[in-house]
Amino acid sequence: MKDIFVDIVDDNDEVIYARTLSQVVEDGLLGQIRMIKLFIMNYDKELLLCRNAFGKKGEDLFDCPLTAIVHAGESYDEALIRTCQEIFSIDMTKQQWYELGMLSRQDGLDCFTQVYELTYNELPDFSETKFNDFMWEKPLDIITQFTKDPQGEKSLSMCLKSFYFDCQDSLMCS
């Protein structure tokens, strides 16, 4: 299998140089790559959460439907379009999606992560993923549930709190 090249970025998300992902892992530079996350919200304003219910303890946590590495030379948007096509066979150029914002190590994530939301009213094809358990929930209900019983990836909680915590007052979440 061909090794993926990724951009190594500085503290301002400026590209310094490209390296193979295997070199990045070997050199301990995962905190200097770029990633994307995609939330899917249906017409009832519920978010789709996914998990591998058969995973080992700690690997069976809920997460957003898509987390992907930005390849060398790609923009965040290009990575979103590529990975949605590769993973779900969804042509994002024909979909309604939004950029929610950027999170970084300063926000508690492992690396720079651009977060998106797709309005989509059905379950995508997850056959190319590890996920096998799904739920649709209102953002505030998820945050409340995870506060009582943490069942989500750390990055999921950070994204929910950053972009959906004030859902009571947001037109996108009501």
Number of domains in the chain: 1
Which range of residues forms the domain containing residue 16?
Answer: 5-163
Average pLDDT, stretch 20-36?
94
Per DSSP bridges, beta strands 34-41 and 112-119 are parallel
Does 90 fall in a domain? yes
Confidence band of 58 (pLDDT split at 50, 70, 90): low
Q: Establish if 170 belongs to a structural domain.
A: no
The reply to whether 171 falls in a domain is no
pLDDT at 166: 65
pLDDT at 103 (0 to 100)? 95
Per-residue pLDDT at 19 exceeds 90: yes
Task: Please check whether residue 147 lies inside any domain of the structure.
Answer: yes
On whether residue 172 sits in a domain, the answer given is: no
pLDDT tens track for 73-128 = 999 999 999 999 999 999 999 999 999 999 999 988 899 999 999 999 999 998 88
The β-bridge partners of 6 are: 19, 71
Q: Is residue 174 part of a domain?
A: no
How many alpha carbons lie under 13 Å from residue 4 in its C-beta half-sphere? Answer: 14
Highest mean pLDDT among 130-134, 154-158, 166-170: 130-134
HSE, CB side, 13 Å, CA atoms: give it for residue 91: 2
Is 82 inside a domain boundary? yes
99: domain CATH number? 3.90.79.10
pLDDT bin (cut points 50, 70, 90) of residue 59 is: low
Contact (CB, 8 A) for 60 and 54: yes
Q: What is the pLDDT of residue 68?
A: 94
Q: 168 in a domain, yes or no? A: no
For the whole model, what pTM was predicted? Answer: 0.88
Beta partners for residue 118, in sequence order: 40, 97
